[in-house]
Chains A and B, each alone.
Chain A
Amino acid sequence: MAQPQQEQWSGRLAIIIAAVSMAVGTGNIWRFPRVAAEWGGGAFLIAVTIALLIWAIPLLMCEFLMGSRSRLGNIGAFRDFMGRKHTWAGGFMVAVTIGIMFYYSVVAGWCIRYFAVAAAGGLTPDLSTAAADASVTFGQTQWDAFINDPVETVGYHAAAVVFTTFVVFQGIKGGLERVLKVFLVALLAIIVLLAARAVMLPGSAAGLRFLFVPDWSQLAHSRVWLEAFTQAAWSTGAGWGLMMVYSVYARKNEEISVNSGIVAFSDVLVGMFAAALVLGTLFAVAPTPDIAQQALDAGHVGLTFIYIVDLIATMPGAWIISPLFFLALALAGVSSFIAMFELATTNLMNFGFLRRNAALIVGVVAFLFGIPSALSIEFLNNQDWVWGVGLLISGLLTALAILKYGVNRAAADIDASSDIRIGAWFALAVRGIPVVFLVLFGWWIYQSVRDNPDTWWNPLVTYSTGTMALQWGIALALVLALNRFLANGVKDGPMTKPSEATAATRSDSNGR
């Protein structure tokens, strides 16, 4: 029977747009500004640039090579690059990214909700009637009312899942490509517009100084480098396995080096605009620099859904700035969620499911497994911690797959289809990734133990090492136990070598 022809992006620009939309997520808007301001501004940006060259871009290239050459999702790609015995590594990568997907839809739902409320004028209160001595601000009241209403949190989580299911259901060209193109253009236009507005506000220069003027003394602190490498690893999507899946639908011999560079550098560039928007607005609108600093120290949720809501409400033009800001956040969140959803769908399709059935299954599972995060922010924080750090392991596994395949062979493959020849640097960087992993991973574990000296081992504590070890251990045990099933269940790709059993059967039948 003839195999159905594999779907494909319409061209090189389409896959670049999809990959940039994948990388640019909510973290660019609510993490990057906070971290950059805290860790030395321009000095941090220099450290991030180095992290892009040493960690993010080489890993994106590894993923691009694995997906586009194996033409299979993560499980199949690891099987064909590392050997059947190591198919579990692809399974682990899928488990980590799906772990993130289960709460990311909830976060995307928050953004959609805030956009909807802002668009209806619900985030621009009449400040003249607000009590001057109110101990709880308008933003805090809004957030408390929302997060404690399960109908709303589960409802908006469901909205994010239903929309994404519909997009992925339509396929690569008819669904993802069509939607992501519009999302990315709208997102970039809004961020640039709001950043330009923020820069022109009187007083914004104080915030911009935090972001751009280097505090060179910070480069001597190891923490700055660790934060920069963590930012580069999480924000660009390197090691998530998402680029691997998008490149499955690339043309045969798709260019790798330049495409990966565009994704990584664009991600940081968008982060800079978002940071100019957030920090410029904060320092221009906050009544005192101390309040601006408090907002930066308030974490992702505190900054975005409480302080920014309060501060934008006091600005002229809040009726349009507020919905635009949350629309940007929603577009960034949903476009990254689409990539995670596609990862789950593609891997399921490799087991013989039709796209539409696979998308529906992933939609139902994503909705059900997202409910605990929708109901409990503590649970969501735990999942963010466990699978966020788990991404570093996925990054390591990707590098190990390329080392097993042959790093020089991979470099030659990349150079053969690339516009610029950077194979030598790629080979060097990939060899260094396990070392970078050990430092980064060790630091996160050390930090967890240091911050929870009495409870670091306890799996029931949100940010403990014990909870990570337990949940990774369960995922690892599961994929190791299922290794043979995964290796044999995934369809064959152009690089697939026959299993020993199949080879024996073939030689047996040839002998007859």
Chain B
Amino acid sequence: MDGELVFWICFFVGGYSLVVGALLRIALKSKN
């Protein structure tokens, strides 16, 4: 796999994973 492809996979999959992870973390830590 070339570097450009790896970058975009990390960008999209990593970005979405970070957002979902951050929101889940807020949800699980919240007192709501």
A binds B: yes
Which residue numbers of A lie inside 8 Å of B, CB to CB? 12-13, 16, 42, 45, 205, 208-209, 212-214, 253-255, 258-259, 261-262, 265-266, 268-269, 272-273, 417-420
Q: B12's contact among A13, A42, A254, A266, by CB below 8 Å, is which?
A: A42
Q: For B20, list chain A residues within 8 Å (CB).
A: 262, 265-266, 269
Q: B residues bordering A, Cβ < 8 Å?
A: 1-2, 4-5, 8-9, 11-13, 16-17, 19-20, 23-24, 26-28, 30, 32
* Given the contacts A205-B5, A213-B5, A258-B23, A269 and B13 also touching, CB distance less than 8 Å: yes
- Which of these, A12, A213, A214, contacts B27 with CB under 8 Å? A12
Chain B residues whose C-beta falls within 8 Å of the C-beta of A418 in the assembled complex: 32
Interface of B is mostly: helix
User: Chain B CB within 10 Å — which of A13, A213, A214, A417 has the most?
Assistant: A213
Do B5 and A265 touch across chains, with their CB atoms under 8 A apart? no
Please give me the 10 A-B residue pairs with the lowest Cβ-Cβ distance, nearest first.
A212-B8, A255-B32, A269-B16, A262-B23, A419-B30, A205-B1, A265-B20, A261-B23, A419-B26, A265-B19
Q: List 17 A-B contacts (CB under 8 A).
A: A13-B27, A16-B24, A16-B27, A42-B12, A208-B1, A208-B9, A212-B8, A213-B5, A255-B32, A262-B23, A262-B24, A265-B20, A268-B16, A269-B13, A272-B16, A273-B13, A419-B27
Interface class of chain A by DSSP: helix
A255 touches B9 (CB 8 A): no
Q: Across the A-B interface, how many residue pairs have beta carbons closer than 8 Å?
A: 64
**Other than the known A12-B27, A255-B30, what 17 A-B pairs have Cβ atoms closer than 8 Å?**
A13-B28, A42-B12, A205-B1, A208-B1, A212-B9, A212-B11, A213-B8, A258-B27, A259-B27, A262-B23, A265-B23, A266-B20, A269-B16, A269-B17, A272-B12, A417-B32, A419-B32
A254 to B31, alpha carbons, bound, how many Å? Answer: 11
Docked CA distance A42–B11 (Å) = 10
> Would A212 and B27 count as touching, CB distance under 8 A?
no
Q: What is the CA–CA distance of A142 and B13 in the complex, to the nearest angstrom? A: 35
Complex alpha-carbon distance, A273 and B20, angstroms: 14
Are B27 and A208 neighbours in the complex by a CB distance under 8 Å? no
Residues of A within 8 A of B9 (CB): 208, 212
CB–CB B4/A213 < 8 A? yes
Which one, B12, B17, B28, B32, contacts A45 given CB within 8 A?
A: B12
Interface centre among B2, B17, B20, B30 (most CB of A within 10 A): B20
Chain A CB within 10 A, most for which of B2, B8, B11? B8
With both beta carbons as reference points, the residue of chain B lying nearest to A417 in the complex is identified as B32
Q: How far is the CB of A263 from chain B (nearest CB, A)?
A: 10
Complex: A261 Cα to B22 Cα, angstroms? 10
Quick one: closest A residue to B4, CB to CB? A213
